[in-house]
Chain A
Amino acid sequence: MGGIATHHTGQNMANRPLSPHLQIWKWGPHMLVSILHRVSGDGMAIVGLGVLLWWLGALASGPEAYETFHWAMTTPIGYLVLIGLTWAFFSHLCSGLRHFVLDTGAGYELDANKMWSIVSVTGGVVLTLAFWAAIFLL
């Protein structure tokens, strides 16, 4: 995009007003759910798939490699990573389902949009808590 824009606009476009960026707008739940969707998705793409491959590779390599993986994931940092990834998964799941609804053209009215944004973010946290409660309490 940069190359085309520079070529096409020339220098007399340099002082044109830019479209407002993040700091211009009053923050609302729809902005939070949008950026969290990106953060959680790309976080899982980079960290989560790495952990998934380590898990699969350790299993395929044998008990010793699996023991190393198991040790790493049950250290405090390991738990932090796993809890972060489950939060990212459940948040991305909720905001992803919200996107499916928005894809149909529904849910753009201000009140409905605000409510489902809050429900998405809250739902991600609640499902994360439920998942770890199931692990530690059941």
Chain B
Amino acid sequence: MGNGTSIGRVRGLGSAHTGAHHWLLQRFTAVGNLITLIFLIVSLLTLPNMSYATVSGWMSQPIPAVMMALLVLTTFWHARIGLQVLIEDYVHDSGSRFGVMLALNLAWIGGTVFGLFCIARLALVPVATGGAA
């Protein structure tokens, strides 16, 4: 903050100059969501049934596994930015906001890693056969 002159009192209170980064990422990940979710929806509609063998067999193939991993990354990233905007709009107390933002970031990383791990396990370990194959 400045020394009490007119310009000094307002300097630094304007744009943080980092908004465009989030704005662009929200649009990049939106396109990622569009591609990967359409892939998932078309896949689910064209699978013969929803049995464990069918669905896990589908997801253990390279292209579905990679598309689902990308889906987890892009949707969680998009959701993190979207929920941050929600928090910034409605949580005004700075202490509460810090806590909620902390929880959001932990949930974002935790959810992403859990999703990626599950897909990797399905794709790399034949769960149904107890790892024998």
Chain B contact patch, size range: 35 or more
- List the A side residues contacting B76 at CB < 8 Å: 49
**A62 and B128: CB pair below 8 A?**
yes
- List the B side residues contacting A59 at CB < 8 Å: 52, 55-56, 59, 118, 122
**Looking at chain A's contact residues, is the secondary structure mostly helix, strand, loop, or mixed?**
helix
Q: How many angstroms from the CA of A103 to the CA of B59 in the assembled complex?
A: 36
Q: How many angstroms from the CA of A59 to the CA of B75 in the assembled complex?
A: 19
Apart from A52-B115, A60-B127, what are 17 other A-B pairs with CB-CB below 8 Å?
A3-B94, A41-B79, A42-B86, A49-B76, A49-B111, A52-B75, A53-B118, A56-B68, A56-B118, A59-B52, A59-B122, A60-B121, A60-B122, A89-B37, A93-B34, A134-B45, A138-B45
Binding site for A on B (CB under 8 A): 9, 13, 27, 30, 34, 37, 41, 45, 50, 52, 55-56, 59, 68, 72, 75-76, 79, 82-83, 86, 88, 92-94, 111, 114-115, 117-119, 121-122, 127-128
Binding site for B on A (CB under 8 A): 1-4, 8, 38, 41-42, 44-46, 49, 52-53, 56-57, 59-63, 66-67, 70, 89, 93, 96, 100, 103, 131, 134-135, 138
